[in-house]
Amino acid sequence: MVTLHRTPDLFALSEIRGPVLRPGDDGYAEELTGFNVAARRAPDVVVGATGADDVVTALRWASATGTPVAVQATGHGANFPVDHGLLISTRRMTGVRVDPERRTATVGAGARWRDVMAAAAPHGLAGLCGSSSDVGAVGYTVGGGLPVLGRAYGYASDLVRSFRVVTPDGTLHETDAGREPDLFRALRGGKHAVGVVTSMVTELLPLRTLLGGGLWFPGEHAEAVLSAWCGWIRTVPDEMCTTFALLRLPPIPQIPEPLRGRFWARVTVAWAGDPADGEALLAPVRAAAPAAVDTVEVMPCTEIDRIHMDPQGSFPVRESGLLLHELNPVAVRTFLDRVGPDVVDCPLLLVEIRHLGGALSRPSPGPDMVSARDADHLLETVAVVASPAKALAADRAATALHTAMSPYGTGRTTPNMHGAPGDAADRARAWPPRDHADLLRLKHAYDPAGLLRFGHTP
């Protein structure tokens, strides 16, 4: 296998319409920059793909030269280093085409969820967006895609009807449940293990508005709020979608007053039913402690970012996730002992527990690789790491929390919430054992040379 290092022959890439860049070229650094800038990204070549033909040409060249390949759209999943090789940037492939009669959207590989939501809204439709509409819709979906409204409607990958994908040999495939069903299955939760998706067709929901927002409690009320939340989620219907989080927000101008520079316990909610019913269901949480900030209101689906208020821009971020099967009182105590209000100098910006279950636990409409259908919660940590020392502190804190919570976990994570993938055993945690074995088999079939080796692959 030949791996590029200094002077790759790029003549075979001359037919690509987008930019082909090497280190030192104008635009090289800009092409690599995405949301997460924590990991080193130094490929020998960057291809700024403008369409499927560019991806085909790039992968045929990579296959002929034995060059390993990474793919990036918005950079939200850029948790891993890229040294040498080829990086295919899909951020120019932003097309979104809505078919209101079929309630579908054809979504380009570089389109963000906000592009999909904006295109669908005039037709009274919406997609299964996650906590931030700044995220690339395709990359999020091939990792399974955990939506804000997931308990009501399932995973984003559940709604996909078809993919256009280029396998590492440079072949463009049209795949769905009837055409190459194994390939289709691998792309519904298997991330980028078997190919580079250039577009997908996904179903849309007949939804204009939702009740959503956050209840922000001063951090000293964390135990009371978490205990009330844990009891409350045992009683709510599947349509109530909610998270609990502890946030240690820095005193920076990007965070609005009165939130900046304070420690918070936050409950988010998203409810697509009658707003009055949703408000009534919230009463036990509101009674747990006095909320200092209450942003729960009816909003257009295009404003879904107002629920979680995730940051946008570019940041050096460390993140990790662990699937949980229960949150009993001992688990709650363990959680608070590690990251609660009595913990001094906790380096984690956000520690969030997402309530799963409901439609997220139901069987998929077809075979897939989604890893979390048997879990009740997802524990997520996020830290902004402006220096190696801060990165080390964040990693240690997240590892200590996961270790402490492991008796209540499934032992697995999800591709999108995995963080930096480690060795083979760590990578395997992103899928149930049987799915992982099948994904390895499919990877060997479609990528026998292992060119797609960067990032969240088995």
**Mean per-residue pLDDT over the chain, rounded:** 94
CATH value of 11-89 in 3.40.50.620, 3.30.420.240, 3.30.43.10, 3.40.50.150: 3.30.43.10
Is pLDDT at 4 greater than 60 in this prediction?
A: no
What pLDDT was estimated at residue 386? Answer: 87
> What is the distance between the alpha carbons of residues 219 and 300, in angstroms, rounded to a whole number?
30
Judged against a pLDDT cut of 70, whether residue 383 lies above it is answered with: yes
Query: Domain map of the chain by residue range?
Result: 11-89, 96-206, 209-408
The confidence band for 315, taking pLDDT boundaries of 50, 70 and 90, is confident
Question: In 3D, which of 411, 418, 344 has the Cα closest to residue 380?
Answer: 418
Query: Residue 312: its pLDDT value, please?
Result: 85
The CA–CA distances, whole Å, from 209 to 126, 127, 217, 271, 279 equal: 9, 12, 26, 9, 15
Residue 120 CA to residue 106 CA, distance in Å, equals 11
- Is the pLDDT confidence value at 6 over 80? no
Residue 402 has φ and ψ, to the nearest 5°, of -65, -40
Confidence of residue 11 (pLDDT cuts 50, 70, 90): low
The partner residues of 388 in beta bridges, in order of sequence, read none
Secondary structure tally for the chain: helices H, strands E? 14, 19
Residue 7's pLDDT band (cuts 50, 70, 90): very low
Q: 75: phi > 0 → left, psi -120 to 50 → alpha, else beta; which? A: left
pLDDT tens digits along 46-65: 999 999 999 999 999 999 99
Q: Give the Cα separation of 418 and 5 in Å (integer).
A: 29
The first and second tokens of residue 199, run together, are 């577009």
Indicate if the pLDDT at residue 5 is higher than 80.
Answer: no
Residue 218's beta-bridge partner residues? 264
In this predicted structure, what is the pLDDT of residue 9? Answer: 64
Tokens of 449: 């040379």
Please check whether residue 31 is in contact with residue 21, taking contact to mean a CB–CB distance below 8 angstroms. yes
Predicted local distance difference test score (pLDDT) of residue 2 = 35
- The residue assigned the tokens 């927002």 is 213
Q: Determine how many CB atoms are found less than 10 A away from the CB of residue 1.
A: 9
Look at residues 59, 92, 90, 63 and name the one whose alpha carbon lies nearest to residue 77: 90
Q: Chain-centre distance of CA 116, in angstroms?
A: 16
pLDDT surpassing 80 at residue 360: yes
Which CATH code is given to the segment(s) 96-206? Answer: 3.30.465.10
Question: How are the residues of the chain apportioned to helix, strand and coil, as percentages rounded to the nearest 5?
Answer: 30, 25, 45
Choose among 333, 354, 225: nearest CA to 284.
Answer: 225
Six-digit token string for 421 = 């993938």
Would you say residue 3 has pLDDT above 50?
no
Return the number of other C-beta atoms located less than 10 Å from residue 191's C-beta.
Answer: 27
CATH of domain 209-408: 3.40.462.20
Terminal Cα distance for the chain, rounded: 20
Q: Which two tokens stand for residue 200?
A: 């997908």
Kindly report each contact of residues 11-16 with a partner whose C-beta sits within 8 Å and lies 24 or more positions away, as own/partner: 12/57, 12/60, 12/61, 12/64, 13/45, 13/47, 13/57, 13/58, 13/61, 15/57, 16/47, 16/49, 16/50, 16/54, 16/57, 16/58
Q: What does the alpha-carbon distance between residue 67 and residue 61 come to, in Å, rounded to a whole number? A: 8
pLDDT surpasses 90 at 232: yes
pLDDT in tens, 171-199: 999 999 999 999 999 999 999 999 999 99
Indicate if the pLDDT at residue 133 is higher than 80.
Answer: yes
pLDDT for residue 15: 87
pLDDT at 1: 32
Are 253 and 366 in contact by the 8 Å Cβ rule? The answer is: no
In 3-state terms, what secondary structure has residue 16? Answer: coil
**Closest Cα to residue 376, out of 335, 339, 410?**
410
Query: What pLDDT is stored for residue 8 in this prediction?
Result: 52
| pLDDT of 34 over the 80 cut | yes
More confident residue, 78 or 180: 180
Query: What are the Cα distances from residue 123, in Å, to 117, 203, 274, 382, 416?
Result: 10, 13, 20, 35, 29
Our measurement of the distance from residue 362's CA atom to the centroid of its chain's CA atoms, rounded to an integer in Å, reads 20
